[in-house]
Structure 1
Amino acid sequence: MSVTALDPKTALVAIDLQNGILAAPGTPLPTSDALDRTVELADAFRAKGLPVVLVRVSFAADGADALPGRTEAQRAARSMPEGWDRIADALAGHPEDITVTKRNWGAFHGTGLDVQLRRRGITQIVLTGVATSIGVESTARAAYEHGYHVTVATDAVTDLDAGAHHNSLTKIFPRLGETGTTAEILELLGKTHA
């Protein structure tokens, strides 16, 4: 499927493009590809005066804000190296961007993201980032539940598990919105926001 439209009030929402996560190799695309394509989209959104939201995940050093609950999967260590949660330099440094820090998989729960978007009249989000099946999918689900039109840039997302990535792209995202390549989104951005 291909993306068909971008609303006049669309925001780019980039998930977890931060030093510690970008250090992972990514599959099926390298994380560097997701970052490069997101930078391309962010530059175009900024040029059109549209919001760019940079979402990062972070935790207190003492683990006090770690998610509770039992899981069968082993939890990642909470003692992370200095700067692991800093947004990638290629995206950072634009004071007009909105930065959201999350403690969960998705960018809506426990953050001010919905308020930030609604104050700006945003009706649609374009999602990029890592990992497709975790942070990106969780955010897409919540955005859909909050009533936003959702578009996922298929070549600006990647995962640590190729099967999970494929499942999100082919089974989940088509039920939540539309998908398209960076080039398709940029073309629509040029037409819609001329």
Structure 2
Amino acid sequence: MTQALSLDPSTTALVLIDLQHGIVSRPLAPYSGPQVVENGARVAAAMRTKGATVVYVRVPLNELLHLPSDAPMRAPDAPPAPEQASELVPEAGVQPGDLVVSKRQWGAFYGTDLEQHLRRRGIQTIAICGIATNFGVESTARHAFDLGYKLVFVEDATTSMSEEWHRFTVDNVFCRMGHVRTTQQVIDALA
């Protein structure tokens, strides 16, 4: 049984991962990029209205850490991504006063000032969403968990390259790290 969720906006931050042109436009499941952006923007608007911190994380795709692997994310000889691919989509709804953090690896904490921003604001709980569930979102969540943040996962504002990858992470990892809720449940928890 899902327990009731209540979020204190003064100690909660919403962190939206990689809602940018070069990622949102990919084939994704179980939710499309535009669906994730729409739901993330809804949560961000509700959070802002209640005074919570809203953080958008982006990755300059041509600066992303690429180490040798058996299944690289992109071909070693692939041409550089167009500059627009690294820009947040306008539909994500970035507003003045929101934080924008640039990362260069999957997770949003390592090598960025995200933790410093959150600590200075007294953040204790992070609601997290974005693309991809089992890459950038999970990497960021694992680091946040290790740092002692309480976590809320906005399930229908998160997606991956396949429904199977998404479901596995949500059903086997996220539920053990925090609370998994829908967009509407997270908005209602702010009331």
Normalised TM-score (structure 1): 0.90
Q: Which residue of 2 aligns with 1:70?
A: 68
Aligned partner (choices 24, 42, 50) of residue 22 of structure 1: 24
- Once the two structures are TM-superposed, the CA of residue 162 in structure 1 deviates from its matched residue by 1.6
Cα 1:131/1:112, change in 2 over 3 Å: same
Output aligned runs, 1:23-172, within 5 Å: 23-60=25-62, 65-67=63-65, 69-76=67-74, 77=78, 79-172=80-173
Native 8 Å contact 2:103 2:111 kept in 1: yes
| Identity between Structure 1 and Structure 2 (%) | 38
Kindly state the Cα deviation for residue 92 of structure 1 after the two structures are TM-superposed: 4.2
How far off its partner does 1:2 sit?
5.4
Asked if structure 2 preserves the Cα contact closer than 8 Å seen for 1:3 and 1:185, the reply is: no
Displaced runs of 4 or more, over 2 A: 1-5, 65-70
Secondary structure in 1 aligned to 2:91? coil
Contact 1:56–1:86 (8 Å) recurs in 2: yes
- The 3-state SS of whatever aligns with 1:26 is coil
TM-score if structure 2 supplies the norm length? 0.91
Pick which of 75-84 and 181-190 moved more: 75-84
Describe how 1:167-182 pairs up with structure 2 within 5 A: 167-182=168-183
Could you tell me which runs of 5 or more consecutive residues in structure 1 were left unpaired when the two chains were aligned: none
Q: How many residues align?
A: 186
Cα offset for 1:68? Answer: 5.3
AA of the residue aligned to 2:72:
Q
* Root-mean-square deviation over aligned CA pairs: 1.6
Provide Cα deviations, 1:63-122, integer angstroms capped at 9, x if missing partner: xx5425321112424600131111110224412000000001011111110000000000
